[in-house]
Chains A and B, each alone.
Chain A
Amino acid sequence: MYFAGVDIGSTMTKIVLTDTDGRVLSAIKGPTGPEHRQLANEVMKTALEQAGLQLDDISYVVATGYGRFNVPFADRQITELSCHAKGVSSLFPNARTAIDIGGQDAKCLKIHNGKLIDFVMNDKCAAGTGRFLEVIAATLGIRLDDLGDIALKSAKKIQISNFCTIFAQQEVVSRLSEGEKLEDIVAGLHDALASRVAALARRLKVEPDVVLTGGVAKNIGMVKAMKENLGCELLVPKDPLITGAMGAAILAKEHAMEAIAKGEPVPTKPRRLEKATFFH
C-alpha cells in the first residue's frame, strides 16, 4: 500500500509518498503560484512519476496546509499543526518543541509523545515570518539563498530599530547609505526576526529537544540567530520544508490502517488529478 501527504503552503506545495513501511518513495517541492495554489496537481504528477506510481495506487491521501481544502485529489484534510507535530516526531522522537518559520507565518508547537499538546502562532504580522527576510532581500537585491551566508560574515550586527517590515526596509536603505556594512545589516535583520519568533515561542515553555523547520530553517544565519535568541541547541531536519507533508503521509497511513483494523473499507473520496477550481 502507498500513502500520500500533500502540504499546500503559501508559496510551495510539498508532497511526500510513502509505502506501508514508512519508506519515502518521493518527496517533491514545487511552486503552485500565489494564486490560490491551483497547481498542486502538477506537483502530484511529478511525485507519482518519481515513485513510478499512478494516483489509483495510493491508498489514502491527506492534505494539509493553508490550501488543504483546495486539493481535488485528497481523501481527507488535517490541520498543518497536527501534521507538523507528527512529521517532526517521526524524525526526532525526543522532540518536545517544534518551531516552524514559513513564508507567511511562524508557529511554535509543544509535542508530547508524538502528539500536539499546545501551540502559538503568528500569521498577522509579516515582521515575525520569513516574509520579513524575503521583502528585505529583494530590496537589497540579494538572493534569499545567499542571505544566511552573508549574515555569518558579520562581526558586529546592527540593531534594526523598526519593527514593521516596511519601515525596516526603509531603515536598511538608509543604513547602507550611511556606509554600514551589508553583512552587519543582514545579521541585524536575522537577529530581529529571531527575537520575534523566540518571543512567540516563549509564550509556551521551550523544552528540549527543540526542532526548527520551515523554509527559514534552510537559512544557516537564522539557525544561528535562533540558537542565540533561545539560548539552546536546535535540531534541523535535512529537508526542513517537508515535515508537514511527511506528517500528513504518516497520518494517511494511520487512518487507513485504523479502518482496515476495524474491517472497514479505507474511506477514500472521488479524486480528480486536475487544477483546483475553488478556494477557502
Chain B
Amino acid sequence: MRVKNLMTWFMGIDIGSVYSKGVLTKDSELVASCVILSGANYRVAAETIRHELLKQVNLSQDDITNIVATGSGAANVHFAGRKASDIICTARGINSIFPRVKTAIDVAGQSTKVMRLDTQGMVTNFVVSEKCAAGSGRFIEVIANVLRIDLNDFGPLSLKSQNPITFNTGCAVFGETEAITRVAEGISKEDIAAGVNNALATKISSLVKRVKLAEPCAICGGGALNIGLVKAVEQELNIQLLMPPQPQIIAALGAAIIAQT
C-alpha cells in the first residue's frame, strides 16, 4: 500500500495556441515537465498533460495541492484551482530562474510579449504583439514550411548563412510568396532562413524598445529554441540574452509557482 504523500506538489498548465505545456513542482523544485501539441481540443490537451505529469512521478490527482492554468486556452483546464494571466506566469517563471532579470521576451506561436520586471518578479510594464503573424513564431513556421525544413533545424541552418536576404514585406502571407520567389531564383535555404530570423528580430526589438530595454534581458517561449532568432535578436539589441534551459515551459513553471501562494 502506498504511503500518502506528505510533500507539497503543485502543477502549472499552459495551454498555448500551438503547444501546451505542463510543469510539476515539489517543494518549489521542478520535478516534471511535458510539452505536447495543443491540437483542436484544448480540454483533451489539458487532460493529456495532467495524466503525463502524474505518470512521470507516479502520483494521483489527490496528491496535488493546487493547480494553476494559464495561456490562451486556460479556460479549458476545468480541473485547475484557478487561472492566471500568461504575462504574470511568464514573469514569475523567468524570475525563478534568473532573479535579476529586468526584461523578459516571450516569443510564442501566435504572439510575442515583452515584459519589464522588478526584483520580485512583478510586472511593471509590458507590450504584446498578437495581431499579426509576422510578429510571432508563426512567421518562422510559415517559412520553414516553404523551405521544407524541420523547425528544429531552422536555427542551426540560418546560422550558416553568409548573405541573409532582406524581406521587402512585413506580412507573413506576402513573406511566404517572397520566400517562394527567392527559392525559385536559386537563393539558398540558409540565406532565406536567416532573412526571416532577422525580420522577426527587428519586430521583436521594436517591441523591446517600447518598454525600454533594461538588462539583464532573458528570452523564452518556443521561439527561443531557434538559436538563429536568439542571435539575431542579440545582434539587433546589441546585448547578450539569458536563456533558460527549457524556454517553452516558463509560463507553466510560473503557473506552478503561483499555485504555491
Contacts and interface: CB of A to CB of B under 8 A. Distances in A.
A99 interface: no
Contacts of A97: none
Interface in A94-129: 104, 124-127
Contact of B173 (A35, A36, A166, A174): A166
B171 A167 contact: no
A34 B173 contact: no
Nearest to B172: A166
A124 B142 CA distance: 17
Interface string A145-178: 0000000000000000001111100100010010
B133 interface: yes
Nearest to A105: B174
Contacts of B169: 124
B172 to A, nearest CB: 5
B31 interface: no
A15 to B, nearest CB: 23
Nearest to A125: B171
A24 interface: no
Give the bracket for the number of chain B residues in contact with chain A. Answer: 10 to 19
Contacts of B174: 104, 126, 131
Contacts, number: 44
A165 B177 CA distance: 14
B216 to A, nearest CB: 32
Interface string B159-189: 0000000000111111001001100100000
B138 interface: yes
A273 interface: no
B40 interface: yes
Interface string A69-104: 000000000000000000000000000000000001
A174 B72 CA distance: 14
Interface string B107-134: 0001000000000000000000001111
Contact of B180 (A34, A104, A124, A131): A34
A34 B177 contact: yes
Contacts of A163: 131-132
A135 B177 CA distance: 12
Given A127-B171, A167-B110, A167-B133, 16 more contacts: A34-B177, A34-B181, A35-B184, A125-B132, A125-B171, A126-B171, A126-B172, A126-B173, A135-B173, A164-B131, A164-B133, A165-B172, A166-B142, A167-B138, A170-B17, A177-B40
Interface pairs A-B: 6 shortest CB-CB? A126-B173, A166-B133, A164-B133, A163-B131, A165-B173, A164-B132
10 contacts: A34-B177, A126-B171, A126-B174, A127-B171, A127-B173, A131-B173, A163-B132, A164-B133, A166-B133, A167-B133
